[in-house]
């Protein structure tokens, strides 16, 4: 039954796209994030719904959509460079079979990220894309939030639509994305036009924010806690009463402590003492190995080059006997462990060139959003008050992604590349708006501004005409 519901919805949206091809872009975003083909049980699993939407989005734009206002930017060029470089490293990867499997989805994510800004030529399209991303992620977040409230969470518990620990359904990845999207949800509650920001929208936004904050708690994702801390620090920049904000946040945190399970405290404690946790200790060892690997292979080893790692380290193990706690150091040998960091993921797979391009791609986005925020935040004219808040929301999302990416291998995460497309689209629209405004205010070259003529000048002209 659920397969028929998904297929009916996808078919309906495909029909709508015949008149508005941009809807096919939104359909691909929805399928790419929610993955209905993984949620279903029957026929939908045998259909390439993602590929169908992918082709429709590109083909619809090429054949049917309006191209006015579409521009290719420097950041899109960076994604092209990264795409080509990933292809080159894949052709000579240390582990060809594994590299091809990862390349199969990375090139689609990068290509769609390159294409997406070309379609974002109006505010309505920007808002529609942001809303689709927020609601698609929100469907997963709200469902997981309900399960956490009713049944409790826990590390590696089944909280999502699918039992697939990959992509957006990986707990730490979802925690990072959910927290990163909170400022965008707030923007919709204040400036949205597709759904007017009345009390119903604000109540839904509040519920979605609460569910997003539950994800790091319910999944016991340590990265999520760091992302929440980063969000709190970033919010201080524009809070009018900072002390009130800090006190309220601290009080809320203290009030939540009695409701948290002991397993959550134990897992969060490993942030301060990474050496006492095997997972955290492994990350440190992998990062050290990757750095040394990059010294020998500065151009990278292709996707999944981490499969060649092998290392031995000592990990302290605490044993409690009565009131006595003893610490014994044991040797742990590990191999083929993932990077657990986008920085080291790019460094190991694409070398220093790939890491520089990736860092520049996201760093420029944060800088561009800051430019829009600083230039537009004091504007009050009609149609010029929503840009600065959206830029701030996208900038905050980018910074939170950086924080989360330090501890996760999400260098090519499709949802983040969609947010990059939003940043580029907003920057292009603001730039085009200012350019058009400057042209309207600037007099044409070679033409003199009309001079004010008094009554004496007009009488003189009249006498001259009469005399002729």
Q: Where are the domains of the chain?
A: 1-66, 75-269+342-440, 275-335
Rounded Cα distance between 264 and 267, Å, is: 5
What is the per-residue DSSP string for 407-432?
A: TS--TT-HHHHHHHHHHHHHHHHHHH
Is 320 or 129 the better-scoring residue by pLDDT?
Answer: 129
What per-residue confidence (pLDDT) applies to 149?
Answer: 77
What pLDDT digit, counting tens, does each position of 216-258 carry? 887 777 888 889 999 988 988 877 777 777 777 777 666 655 5
Band of residue 168 on the pLDDT scale cut at 50, 70, 90: confident
Report the distance separating Cα 366 and Cα 371, nearest Å: 9
CA distance 63 to 156: 45
**130 is written with which tokens?**
């942001």
Helical segments of 192-341, H only:
199-219, 222-235, 242-256, 262-272, 278-296
Provide φ and ψ at 317, rounded to 5°.
Answer: -120, 120
- pLDDT of residue 466 exceeding 70, the answer is no
Q: What is the pTM of this model?
A: 0.86
Residue 328: in which H helix or E strand, if any?
strand 324-335
Backbone angles phi, psi at 311, to 5 degrees: -160, 155
Distance, CA of 13 to chain centre: 24
Beta bridge partners of 320: 325
What region, left, alpha or beta, does residue 167 occupy, with left being phi > 0 and alpha being psi -120 to 50 degrees? left
Enumerate helices (H) and strands (E) in the chain, giving the number of each.
18, 2
């Amino acid at each position: 039954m659920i397969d028929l519901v998904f297929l009916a919805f996808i078919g309906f949206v495909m029909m709508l796209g015949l008149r508005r091809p941009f809807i096919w872009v939104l359909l691909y975003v929805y399928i790419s994030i929610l993955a209905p083909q993984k949620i279903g049980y029957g026929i939908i699993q045998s259909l390439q719904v993602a590929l169908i939407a992918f082709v429709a989005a590109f083909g619809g734009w090429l054949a049917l959509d309006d191209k006015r206002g579409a521009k290719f930017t420097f950041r899109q060029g960076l994604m092209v460079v990264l795409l080509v470089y990933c292809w080159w490293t894949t052709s000579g990867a240390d582990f060809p079979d594994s590299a091809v499997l990862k390349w199969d989805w990375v090139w689609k994510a990068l290509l769609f990220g390159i294409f997406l800004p070309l379609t974002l030529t109006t505010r309505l399209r920007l808002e529609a894309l942001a809303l689709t991303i927020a609601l698609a992620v929100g469907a997963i977040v709200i469902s997981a939030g309900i399960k956490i409230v009713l049944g409790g969470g826990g590390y590696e518990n089944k909280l999502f639509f699918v039992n697939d620990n990959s992509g957006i359904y990986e707990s730490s990845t979802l925690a990072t994305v959910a927290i990163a999207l909170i400022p965008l949800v707030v923007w919709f509650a204040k400036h949205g036009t597709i759904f007017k920001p009345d009390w119903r929208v604000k109540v839904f936004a509040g519920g979605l924010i609460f569910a997003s904050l539950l994800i790091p708690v319910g999944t016991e994702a340590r990265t999520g806690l760091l992302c929440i801390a980063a969000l709190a620090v970033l919010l201080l920049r524009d809070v009018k009463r900072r002390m009130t904000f800090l006190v309220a946040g601290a009080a809320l945190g203290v009030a939540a402590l009695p409701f948290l399970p002991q397993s959550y405290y134990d897992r969060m404690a490993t942030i301060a003492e990474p050496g006492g946790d095997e997972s955290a200790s492994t990350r440190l060892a992998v990062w050290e190995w990757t750095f040394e690997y990059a010294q020998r292979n500065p151009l990278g080893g292709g996707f999944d080059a981490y499969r060649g790692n092998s290392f031995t380290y000592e990990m302290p193990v605490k044993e409690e006997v009565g009131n006595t706690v003893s610490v014994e150091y044991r040797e742990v040998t590990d191999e083929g462990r993932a990077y657990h960091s986008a920085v080291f993921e790019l460094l190991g797979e694409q070398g220093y060139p790939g890491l520089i391009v990736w860092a520049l791609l996201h760093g420029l986005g944060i800088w561009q959003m800051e430019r829009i925020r600083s230039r537009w935040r004091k504007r009050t004219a009609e149609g010029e008050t929503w840009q600065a808040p959206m830029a701030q929301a996208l900038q905050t999302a980018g910074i939170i992604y950086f924080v989360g990416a330090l501890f996760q291998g999400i260098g090519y995460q499709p949802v983040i590349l969609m947010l990059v497309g939003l940043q580029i689209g907003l920057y292009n629209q603001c730039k085009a708006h200012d350019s058009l405004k400057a042209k309207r205010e600037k007099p044409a070259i070679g033409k003199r501004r009309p001079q004010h003529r008094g009554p004496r000048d007009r009488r003189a002209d009249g006498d001259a005409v009469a005399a002729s």
